[in-house]
Amino acid sequence: MKTGVVVFPGSNCDRDLMVALELVTGVRPVALWHADPEIPAGLDLVALPGGFSHGDYLRSGAIAARAPVMRAVATHAARGGLVLGICNGFQVLTEAGLLPGALIRNAGLDFLCRDVALEVVTADSPFTRAYAAGATITVPIAHHDGNYQADAATLDRLEQEGQVAFRYAEDVNGSARRIAGILNEGRNVLGMMPHPERCVEEAHGNQDGRRLFEGLLKVLA
Amino acid sequence: MTAVTPEIVADHGLSPDEYALILEHLGRAPNLLELGIFSVMWSEHCSYKSSRLHLARLPTEAPWVIQGPGENAGAVAIGTDPEGNPLAAVFKMESHNHPSFIEPYQGAATGVGGILRDVFTMGARPVALLDALSFGAPDHPRTRHLVRGVVAGIGGYGNCVGVPTVGGEVRFHPSYNGNILVNAMCVGVARADRLFRSAAAGVGNPVVYVGSATGRDGIHGATMASAEFDASSEEKRPTVQVGDPFLEKLLIEACLELMATDAVIAIQDMGAAGLTSSSVEMASKGGVGIRLDLERVPARETGMTPYEFMLSESQERMLMVLKPGREAEAEAIFRKWGLAFAVIGEITSTGRLQLFFHGEQVANLPLGPLSEGAPKYDRPWVRTPPPPPLADAPASADLLRDLVQLMGSPDLASRRWVWEQYDHMVGADTVVRPGGDAAVVRVHGTRMALALTADCTPRYCAADPVAGGAQAVAEAWRNLTAAGATPLAITDCMNFAAPTDPVVMGQFVGCIEGMRAACLALDFPVVSGNVSLYNETEGRKIQPTPSIGGVGLLADWAEAATPAFKAAGETIWLVGETRGHLGQSLWLRECRGREDGPPPPVDLAAERAAGDWVRRMIAERRVTAVHDLSDGGLLVALAEMALGGGIGAAIALPEGAATAMAFGEDQGRYLATTPAGTELPPCPVPLVRLGETGGAALAVEGHGAIPLEALRAAHERFFPALMGSAAKAMG
């Protein structure tokens, strides 16, 4: 399985994501520089890491969404290639129009870093297939702008089409319908605020995130 | 240029005697720019003029020390990476007290930014941040505003830069009402054979400026930080710098990328006193001279004067000396990261700081008087008289009711509200998260881990500076030990009131004496530090606060111990002697409203014996949970272990007066658990079997029981209640 991790100025979970991907796939991901308009051919997965791309100035993810590399990421997605955006990566995907809705300031206004319980809403995607639908997993969050919002029609459609991938077991940041992660219509693009790369090995004290990467491996092996 | 008058000299914080000394060194009057340079270099903040004499008494050496005080940060050896390359832990703690009181968000944020630069300047990748915070009384009208701003500022900077904030401490005391303390500590990891230092070398080599452009912010911040506060201090807001953590993140990546080549000869961050102190320190440490052409300095604003260029404290800037001919290679790296890069001068052989502006010489000063030749004072001091012992034997009417009160008190309540605003996991190497004795962070790519802690008990230091200084070091050592780590070294951040008061100077000298004794007894040298004086407002002085940042090493992260009870039915042991010392205890303060008596004595030999034994028990995996005893004593430590594991306990107090046994703060003690039936090997200090874990309550024989949920509710209530009401008040 060939993977690439985009590095924007201000990305700060790029290394953690590369470590997690290498741990599970056995192959070191390629670093993709934000200013490059091309990505290497033959990548199975392009991942957008957490962090504060461009300092989150203007709006979280807004500047990164217009980086040259994002045209290549959109092309990759349109061809059915897998795209995973975590935290700031999710924000970039919504700003780039690859996923609907927006992530606004947490309802409590404070940055929040803690373990949260997540419901796996659907196992019908390359990212969630190694989980059981309805299962509860524990994954850390670390964000200031994780409050997912979209208009009611969009939210209804996401629910009806099974595009809600993860839901917070309890309200943590004000997200509409407690949405923590969503899929696109083609189910090949996933954006999620929680950090699965922070719970993949024994030292993390919890390995619930590991199955997300293992599921991808099964799809692509 | 403006002529220098006595008023201008006074405005620059220089005494008439100091100005006379400048005239003597120069053989002429300085111009305004030169006076400004002297004023910041001779400020307490840069020159350590009141403290140097005493700091020299601290032990700074051990076989594992690679870099002691005097560089941007200290460094200790921590083993090797998987390829066999030697690694070093690089760390330092520094104050940002005055700016944080004036503008809490930016003051705290730039404190974090500054300490990060001190560490990556050494060639280390920052891997952890800690913050030791002292606020005024919770009900003081400014406290909530300051807590909110400082915590948000620390989070805002550290979270964005992507370095986890894993620990620290927060205390409240009225002595900080007008002068809070914000002490930030950063720890990094570097190749021990590739540490970078600040001594410039090589006549003709280019002096390079990188990072953010220079603006007019923070001019005279170092002088401001060296003066007492008065009612007009808020007018000093323009001297507080504004941080840009995004730019810092780029600067870290660009500097580390350049440092991976061999192009850098010397590097120094521009912290307090900006371009002045960085250029003077680099040239004087290298025994060379330096020439700068100030019109080449990247500027954020037009029309800036040489005075403003030299005294600006704009953040996220570095000065480097490169090998000749390597400019293009370096510039390409900085351009890639979107950062300013400019050759602004060269190294000379003159031993002088020569500044030019559009070809005209605007300053020409000998380097010696600016650095090593700065004034050094042996200020008069008086020893703090030891407080009399408690005249009575105060007793609690209800131990468990008092325990609930203590667990919900400002200094013992859960800090969850604080550390959940810090990304404490970024890097995916945080093995033990905030809330325990020490945080544990894996050394990336290895099995090794660093244990990190920040400690001080200012009320002990105020009552008896020598005992308090020793206790602060001993508690840091104990916290690292309780995590199973071998303590390696400390960084100290010495926060005191005005040194011109012999009582304050006596506190400083006393704390140093105690720290010295503890460092020697525990093989725990000082490798870096910082001094912050004049922490007082209109004569109200802070309690002496020598914050100690401790670093320890675990050979394997999986060996880390934590305080949480692991299972029901385990045996609970108390390690160390309990005499029931209630003087200066939190119980006395919180439950009796008294702050009297001597602090607990520190028996360093017993401390060491207990700690070495506990560490061995952890390494041999004989114990399942370990916690150090400090503020609040035995019952508080027990409650913390129970809440951590969600498992209750039933114990009997050691024989003696119940209140003193329950809440006495005798030093050198730990609680530990073992599976039922385990016998422990002989212990060099008293070892008492207290009882066993289990149930959903804390039961104390003869004193009843309290449900864990009642303890948890009290423990978790304080911060949200304090800050929630602040949010409402702010609309």
Which DSSP string do the residues of chain A spell out, in sequence order? --EEEEE-TTB-SHHHHHHHHHHHHSSPPEEEETT-S---TT-SEEEE--B-GGGG-SSTTTTGGGSHHHHHHHHHHHTT-EEEEETHHHHHHHHTTSSSSEEE--TT-S-EEEEEEEEE----STTTTTSPTT-EEEEEEEESS-EEE--HHHHHHHHHTT-EEEEESS-SS--GGGEEEEE-TTS-EEEESS-GGGSSSGGGT--TTHHHHHHHHHHH-
The pLDDT-based confidence of B726 (bands split at 50, 70, 90) is very low
Contacts of A20 in chain B (CB under 8 A): 428
Tell me the average pLDDT of chain B. 94
| Contact (CB<8Å) A55/B245 | yes
Span B703-727, average pLDDT: 90
What is the count of residue pairs from A and B with beta carbons less than 8 Å apart? 79
Q: Cα separation of B548 and B555, whole Å?
A: 23
Answering whether pTM is above 0.80, one says yes
Closest approach of B428 to chain A, Cα-based (Å): 5
> Chain B, 564-583: which have a CB under 8 Å from a chain A CB?
none
Candidates A111, A115, A139, A143, partner chain B, best to mutate (most B CBs within 10 A): A111
Q: How buried is residue A153: exposed, middle or buried, by Cβ count under 10 Å (0-12/13-18/19+)?
A: exposed
pLDDT tens per residue across span B450-466: 999 999 999 999 999 99
The pLDDT-based confidence of B538 (bands split at 50, 70, 90) is confident
Model confidence at B229: pLDDT above 90: no
B580 belongs to a structural domain: yes
Closest approach of B559 to chain A, Cα-based (Å): 11
B377 belongs to a structural domain: no
B73 belongs to a structural domain: no
Determine the residue of chain B that is closest to A115 in CA distance. Answer: B420
| Contact (CB<8Å) B426/A202 | no
Confidence (pLDDT) at B728: 39
**CA neighbor of B534 nearest in space, from B257, B229, B307:** B229
Which DSSP string do the residues of B23-68 spell out, in sequence order? HHHHSS---HHHHHHHHHHTSHHHH-TTTHHHHTTS----TTEEE-
Confidence (pLDDT) at B220: 65
Candidates B144, B189, B417, B426, partner chain A, best to mutate (most A CBs within 10 A): B426
Confidence (pLDDT) at B352: 97
Q: Cα separation of B640 and B562, whole Å?
A: 11
Candidates A5, A8, A12, partner chain B, best to mutate (most B CBs within 10 A): A12
pLDDT tens per residue across span B309-331: 999 989 999 999 999 999 999 99
The pLDDT-based confidence of B235 (bands split at 50, 70, 90) is low
Tell me, yes or no, if B244 comes closer than 8 A to chain A by beta carbon: yes
B369 belongs to a structural domain: no
**CA neighbor of B483 nearest in space, from B554, B430, B572:** B554
Contacts of B246 in chain A (CB under 8 A): 9-10, 52, 54-57
Confidence (pLDDT) at B60: 98
B131 belongs to a structural domain: no
Model confidence at B234: pLDDT above 60: no
Confidence (pLDDT) at B724: 87
Number of Cβ within 10 Å of residue A101's Cβ equals 20
Contacts of B426 in chain A (CB under 8 A): 12-13, 16, 50, 142
Least CB–CB distance from B426: residue in A57, A142, A144:
A142
Distances (CA, A) of B146 to B198, B238, B530, B545: 35, 18, 23, 19
| Contact (CB<8Å) A112/B160 | no
B512 belongs to a structural domain: no
Least CB–CB distance from A197: residue in B245, B428, B429:
B428
Q: Cα separation of B679 and B214, whole Å?
A: 65
Span A127-133, average pLDDT: 97
The pLDDT-based confidence of B56 (bands split at 50, 70, 90) is very high
Percent of residues, chain A, with pLDDT higher than 90: 97
Span B428-454, average pLDDT: 96
Tell me, yes or no, if B421 comes closer than 8 A to chain A by beta carbon: yes
Confidence (pLDDT) at B293: 98
B444 is catalytic: no
Model confidence at B650: pLDDT above 70: yes
Least CB–CB distance from B420: residue in A9, A54, A113:
A113
Beta bridge partners of B493: B530, B547
Model confidence at B232: pLDDT above 70: no
The pLDDT-based confidence of A171 (bands split at 50, 70, 90) is very high
The pLDDT-based confidence of B3 (bands split at 50, 70, 90) is confident
| Contact (CB<8Å) B155/A111 | yes
Secondary structure of residue B308 in the 3-state scheme: helix
CATH number assigned to the domain comprising residue B651? 3.90.650.10
| Contact (CB<8Å) A10/B419 | no
Contacts of A196 in chain B (CB under 8 A): none
Percent of residues, chain B, with pLDDT higher than 70: 96
Contacts of A57 in chain B (CB under 8 A): 246
Active-site hit among B12, B45, B220, B581: B45
Span B471-493, average pLDDT: 98
Closest approach of B492 to chain A, Cα-based (Å): 29
B287 belongs to a structural domain: no
Closest approach of A142 to chain B, Cα-based (Å): 6
Confidence (pLDDT) at B729: 37
Span B72-97, average pLDDT: 97
Tell me, yes or no, if B47 comes closer than 8 A to chain A by beta carbon: no
Q: What are phi and psi of B107, to 5 degrees?
A: -60, -45
Containing structural domain, residue B596: 561-731
Q: Which residues of A touch B (CB under 8 A)?
A: 9-10, 12-13, 15-16, 19-20, 50-52, 54-57, 109-114, 140, 142, 144, 195, 197-198, 202-205
Confidence (pLDDT) at B634: 98
> Chain B, 323-352: which have a CB under 8 Å from a chain A CB?
337-338
What ipTM does this complex have? Answer: 0.97
Span B53-60, average pLDDT: 97
Least confidently predicted of A78-92, B223-237, B296-310, B501-515 = B223-237
Task: Tally the domains of chain B.
Answer: 1
Closest approach of A15 to chain B, Cα-based (Å): 7
Class of domain A3-220: alpha beta
Determine the residue of chain B that is closest to A33 in CA distance. Answer: B336
Span B380-384, average pLDDT: 97
